[in-house]
Amino acid sequence: MNSLPVLQPTTDETCCAPAGAPALGAEEARQKALVFKALADPNRLRLLSIVKAEPDGESCVCDLSGPLDLSQPTVSHHLKILVEAGLLHREKRGTWAYFSLVPGALDDVAGILAAL
């Protein structure tokens, strides 16, 4: 005779999620917060908008300090954060570094919001 599988009582089987159970785990939230930290600065938003507006899709670091009235080390610091967050791609050519948007990166951030 086959034994039927024993059904264990499930204490969390309710009509809805247990009150206040985090839909987003701690480690996942820590990861996702990093990209918003990168975006949480006016100068970094302006740098992204400059790079995005360039017809050829990239900006030389030498062209980015002037319009924001920031020193080049400060601009480089902000650009580094945007690169580390996966929003900008950096390519060194000769003397200068050139920055372009990582394709799909801003859409991915929008996707994080949609999936919260």
Contact set with a copy of itself (CB under 8 A): 15-17, 19-24, 26, 29-30, 32-33, 36-37, 39-46, 48-50, 52-56, 59-60, 63-64, 66-68, 106-107, 109-110, 113-114, 116
Query: What's the helix, strand, coil split of the chain in %, to 5?
Result: 50, 15, 40
Compute the least distance from the CB of residue 85 to a copy of itself, in Å.
Answer: 11
Return the structure tokens found at 1. 């005779």
Per the CB < 8 A criterion, the answer to whether 68 and 49 are in contact is no
Per the CB < 8 A criterion, the answer to whether 103 and 52 are in contact is no
Compute the least distance from the CB of residue 9 to a copy of itself, in Å.
Answer: 21
Of 66 and 103, the one with the shorter C-beta distance to a copy of itself is 66
Task: Say how far apart CA 116 and CA 109 lie, in whole Å.
Answer: 11
Compute the least distance from the CB of residue 83 to a copy of itself, in Å.
Answer: 16
